[in-house]
A and B are shown apart, each in its own frame.
Chain A
């Protein structure tokens, strides 16, 4: 028995990885079918373009440059997924990460452009703004019994309109366009420092310490959740609210605090994107940015582990950017969002998939046991 217990497929991590790979495969298969239905001619090429992303460039220099840009956009996505998974470990589905991300963008850009604050101040206020929004959701949950999903969605929309309003202030918005003014020209100390990292990526301007910072945060989240008393309490609250309460944990404080931390992570994600100067905020957008929602996909695809999230964040960002290179005579860039939403949909089946593997293994064990019994049979009675 000892030998079979250690076999690869029995490890939880391996099962999760297998399930995630299956989700990706399924997502691409269905996506491919949709492309075939729309226009069979370019379907195969479109999928390969999505999978290739920056590899489509022939020269090594541009490959590195666009790899850099992919990584720059991976950092905020990773932060959003950390936000989602942190809350999920405590039993809450933080769909409000999208709004907390918007709050972070609002605070970071306003402090950077209006007050000309240095970058680290902007990151801190972005975290505070996200935390504030998350704490509202948490407080509504504990004191008023409002479902976190519902309050999160309402706050997403409220925050979107507030942000559009705040960032339309004179001196923040470009009077000629719907976008905010550039940080690069107006507040150079508001840009995240590069520390020479850009030299690794063909001097891509937007490569900054955001990338290592996001990875450090992932490790920090893992440590807090798995190696500290606080993390243990949070997970206990998530497993069984009442048991946590009766063993003396402050379950209300824990829920509000969790949502605040979760919000801070998402808010910081926005700061890590906008403070690189890679893009500006569009003050006329009428839908909540997809970053927060994609964070949900990343968190579940990564098996709800901070380390898994690093890989899945890169993958989702990779195919999202790959989508923008698709030949537009037949298809559009949203094919990537179609595929990632299919992947999340399939992720909902992960529990079922793992259950299937486990019950298969159990049956195998039982069959082996009865066989062993039958052999021993006569002597052993």
Chain B
């Protein structure tokens, strides 16, 4: 039971971080299908720090901080691809995002494989990064419950996101650019800058989400798999959360619960006795999200101008 709670909170943290990222991007008017790729690149950035920074160097605080900074920086750097294409070149945002997802997995695989091959002199050609010792520094054991510092990070991100979006001038301007960029422009707000900010924040949060995801249950990650569709689940969380931080948090908890069930269902006699194949549990989050989306999308509160490149000349 405690294990279920632990995994629910952990997966909910990932979904919350990434969905909040998506929320910033879409609220500024840019559809971010590339969250999956941003997570992968962010995860790679963090995993490299965890692999190469010795734990002894500065203990847990330094390790946690360095990992988060590296993931966030990698995520932001990668999200620039979307920003430049979608904002400056008015490219199709869906194609760009899809390409980014493929690019992230391919690039991460190529880099990690090249690294492993060079380090092992050719005997290891896998795309795995192992970070067992570094991962332990993220965890504080409270009895049977493993508290992970990233849960706190997600909570802080949620609070800050809420304040930024609803209590600050920046948030109001950002949202204006997603609803009616021409109106925003007419009162002197730079739509391009706001959209850049939105996409970069999504890169930051998505990147951190990536490292939280790959360290959630395992101490090594195979980068060939990217992040196995989790970025898309986060998109579903964002839509179900109607692009609002508090609702996103609740949606993340719900989806996190179903995702966690897949990890720990063998611990429950009731579920074990049902004798369902493990694939059923793997499918569960996706099926639930499809049903939930079908029920809630009718009255979608999506930002009105999302997906439309801003053209100063149009009315």
Given contacts A154-B290, A158-B283, A329-B117, contact A344 B98 (CB under 8 A): yes
Given contacts A145-B300, A330-B117, contact A348 B95 (CB under 8 A): yes
What mask results when residues 151 to 175 of chain A are scored 1 for a CB within 8 Å of chain B, else 0?
A: 1011111100110110010000000
Shortest Cβ gap from A127 to chain B (Å): 23
Contacts of A221 in B (CB 8 A): none
Given contacts A334-B109, A344-B99, A344-B102, contact A144 B295 (CB under 8 A): yes
A341's partner among B94, B102, B287, B300 (CB-CB below 8 A) is: B102
Contact, CB under 8 Å: A158 / B102? no
B110's partner among A155, A335, A340 (CB-CB below 8 A) is: A335
With the chains together, A332 CA to B96 CA distance in Å? 25
What number of A-B contacts does a CB cutoff of 8 Å give?
Answer: 147
Closest chain B residue, CB of each to CB of A168? B277
Which residues from 196 to 241 on chain A have a C-beta closer than 8 Å to any C-beta of chain B? none
With the chains together, A6 CA to B33 CA distance in Å? 40
Contacts of A34 in B (CB 8 A): 107, 110
Contact, CB under 8 Å: B103 / A145? no
Contacts of B286 in A (CB 8 A): 154-155, 157-158
Closest chain B residue, CB of each to CB of A152? B232
Is the C-beta of B254 less than 8 angstroms from some C-beta in chain A? no
A300's partner among B95, B103, B295 (CB-CB below 8 A) is: B95
Contacts of A341 in B (CB 8 A): 99, 102-103, 106
Q: Which one of B58-66, B131-139, B148-156, B223-231 is at the A interface?
A: B223-231
With the chains together, A151 CA to B295 CA distance in Å? 13
Q: Which one of B7-15, B84-92, B175-183, B191-199 is at the A interface?
A: B84-92
Is the C-beta of A266 less than 8 angstroms from some C-beta in chain B? no
With the chains together, A256 CA to B33 CA distance in Å? 23
- From DSSP, what is the main secondary structure of chain B's interface residues? helix
Contacts of A95 in B (CB 8 A): 98
Is the C-beta of A293 less than 8 angstroms from some C-beta in chain B? yes
Contact, CB under 8 Å: B102 / A332? no
Shortest Cβ gap from A231 to chain B (Å): 23
Contact, CB under 8 Å: A154 / B114? no
With the chains together, A106 CA to B118 CA distance in Å? 39
B290's partner among A151, A342, A345 (CB-CB below 8 A) is: A151
What mask results when residues 326 to 366 of chain A are scored 1 for a CB within 8 Å of chain B, else 0?
A: 00111110110110111011011101100000000000000
Which residues from 125 to 158 on chain A have a C-beta closer than 8 Å to any C-beta of chain B? 140, 144-147, 149-151, 153-158
Size range of the chain A interface in the assembly:
35 or more
With the chains together, A277 CA to B295 CA distance in Å? 42
Contacts of B235 in A (CB 8 A): 150
Is the C-beta of B279 less than 8 angstroms from some C-beta in chain A? yes
Contact, CB under 8 Å: B106 / A337? yes
Which residues from 258 to 315 on chain B have a C-beta closer than 8 Å to any C-beta of chain A? 277, 279-280, 282-283, 286-287, 289-290, 293-295, 297-298, 300
Shortest Cβ gap from A172 to chain B (Å): 15
Given contacts A145-B298, A161-B282, contact A348 B114 (CB under 8 A): no
Given contacts A155-B290, A344-B99, contact A39 B114 (CB under 8 A): yes
Is the C-beta of B18 less than 8 angstroms from some C-beta in chain A? no
Contact, CB under 8 Å: B229 / A157? yes
Given contacts A329-B122, A345-B85, contact A153 B114 (CB under 8 A): no
A146's partner among B90, B92, B103, B293 (CB-CB below 8 A) is: B293
Contact, CB under 8 Å: B279 / A332? no
Which residues from 25 to 68 on chain A have a C-beta closer than 8 Å to any C-beta of chain B? 34, 38-39
- From DSSP, what is the main secondary structure of chain A's interface residues? helix
Is the C-beta of B173 less than 8 angstroms from some C-beta in chain A? no
Interface centre among B81, B85, B114, B280 (most CB of A within 10 A): B114
Contacts of B105 in A (CB 8 A): 337
Is the C-beta of B125 less than 8 angstroms from some C-beta in chain A? yes
With the chains together, A145 CA to B297 CA distance in Å? 6
Contact, CB under 8 Å: B110 / A332? yes
Shortest Cβ gap from A179 to chain B (Å): 17
With the chains together, A157 CA to B228 CA distance in Å? 9
Contact, CB under 8 Å: B236 / A334? no
Shortest Cβ gap from A233 to chain B (Å): 24
Given contacts A331-B114, A337-B102, contact A144 B96 (CB under 8 A): no
Contacts of B244 in A (CB 8 A): none
Given contacts A95-B98, A158-B283, A331-B114, contact A348 B293 (CB under 8 A): no
Given contacts A95-B98, A145-B300, contact A286 B225 (CB under 8 A): yes
Contacts of A293 in B (CB 8 A): 98, 102
With the chains together, A161 CA to B287 CA distance in Å? 11
Contact, CB under 8 Å: B298 / A334? no
With the chains together, A156 CA to B98 CA distance in Å? 14
Shortest Cβ gap from A58 to chain B (Å): 26
With the chains together, A230 CA to B290 CA distance in Å? 30
Closest chain B residue, CB of each to CB of A288? B229
Given contacts A154-B290, A293-B98, contact A338 B91 (CB under 8 A): no
Given contacts A146-B294, A347-B95, contact A331 B232 (CB under 8 A): no
Closest chain A residue, CB of each to CB of B116? A332
Shortest Cβ gap from A139 to chain B (Å): 9
Contact, CB under 8 Å: A352 / B122? no
Is the C-beta of B159 less than 8 angstroms from some C-beta in chain A? no
B113's partner among A140, A168, A332, A344 (CB-CB below 8 A) is: A332
Is the C-beta of A72 less than 8 angstroms from some C-beta in chain B? no
- 14 other A-B residue contacts (CB within 8 Å) besides A150-B239, A151-B293, A345-B81: A144-B297, A147-B297, A149-B33, A287-B224, A287-B226, A331-B113, A332-B113, A334-B109, A337-B109, A340-B102, A341-B103, A347-B99, A349-B91, A351-B90
B residues at A contact (CB < 8 Å):
33, 81, 85, 89-92, 94-96, 98-100, 102-103, 105-107, 109-111, 113-114, 117-118, 122, 125, 127, 224-226, 228-229, 232, 235-236, 239, 277, 279-280, 282-283, 286-287, 289-290, 293-295, 297-298, 300
Q: Give me 24 A-to-B residue pairs in the complex whose CB atoms sit less than 8 angstroms apart, sorted by A's number.
A: A38-B110, A38-B111, A93-B94, A93-B95, A95-B98, A140-B290, A146-B294, A149-B33, A150-B235, A153-B232, A164-B279, A165-B277, A165-B279, A286-B228, A287-B226, A297-B102, A337-B102, A341-B99, A342-B103, A345-B81, A345-B85, A348-B91, A351-B92, A352-B91
Pairs A-B, 7 closest by C-beta atoms: A341-B102, A345-B99, A348-B91, A338-B106, A344-B99, A341-B103, A161-B279
